[in-house]
Amino acid sequence: MDSTMRTLLDGLFEQGATHDAAEPDRLRRRRNLEPETAALLTMVLRIAVAKRIVEIGTSNGYSTIWLADAARDTGGHVTSVDVEVWPGVGDNLARAGVEVELVIADGGDYLGRLPDGSVDLLFLDAERVEYEGWWPHPTRVLRSGGVLAMDNVLSHPGEVAPVLALLDADPEFTGETVAVGKGLYLAVKRAL
């Protein structure tokens, strides 16, 4: 990542932290991904040469910009899905100069409409308690060799436990939790 992009992202992250500290309603906080988690996630994107990238949970576009910047290195494309359009998201993406498809939809409904094996990297960063109800789509839509990433695994272990149990029981997936930021779970779908 070049230094101009990093400066823009650092500014957005700082604004988000200030905004969130003053916002009593958790659901109105931007809850941007920690920079170190974003750095790891986007390095995985590059190593996996992921081209078809889907993020669930756009907020104001902070993690979306990280993903879209990395996708330039793989010739990839990011679709980011949220139930609402957050203030500033369009401006933030435009300022970063990244091309992203923004979809306003429920993450589970959106994944349910995608064909089997059509995604290279799926990043879940929405309301964790909803993920279990989205099954089997988060795993079904991934191609063999595709990556499933999920944040907040160490900060909210109870909320993600049902999904981790589903993944543990699925012989197609092997995953690990990395102690970075709030805990990033990374799993790869292997060919059986």
Residues that bind ligand SAM (CB under 6 A): 31-33, 56-59, 62-63, 81-84, 86, 106-107, 125-127, 130
Give the nearest distance from C-beta 68 to ligand SAM in angstroms: 12
User: From the CB of residue 73, how many other CB atoms can be counted at a distance below 10 Å?
Assistant: 12
**Nearest to ligand SAM of 104, 165 (CB atom):** 104
**Nearest to ligand SAM of 93, 187 (CB atom):** 93
Give the nearest distance from C-beta 174 to ligand SAM in angstroms: 24
Give the nearest distance from C-beta 62 to ligand SAM in angstroms: 3
**Nearest to ligand SAM of 140, 172 (CB atom):** 140
Question: What is the separation, in whole angstroms, between the first and last Cα of the chain?
Answer: 35
**Alpha-carbon distances, residue 135 vs 82, 140, 163, 170 (angstroms):** 18, 8, 9, 12
User: From the CB of residue 107, how many other CB atoms can be counted at a distance below 10 Å?
Assistant: 25
Give the nearest distance from C-beta 83 to ligand SAM in angstroms: 4
Give the nearest distance from C-beta 167 to ligand SAM in angstroms: 19
Q: Transcribe 127-169 into DSSP letters.
A: -GGGHHHHTTHHHHTEEEEEEEEES-TTT-HHHHHHHHHHHHT
116 vs 140: CA distance, rounded Å: 5
User: From the CB of residue 117, how many other CB atoms can be counted at a distance below 10 Å?
Assistant: 15
* Cβ-contact 148, 1 below 8 angstroms: no
**Nearest to ligand SAM of 24, 171 (CB atom):** 24
**Nearest to ligand SAM of 143, 156 (CB atom):** 156
* Cβ-contact 153, 124 below 8 angstroms: no
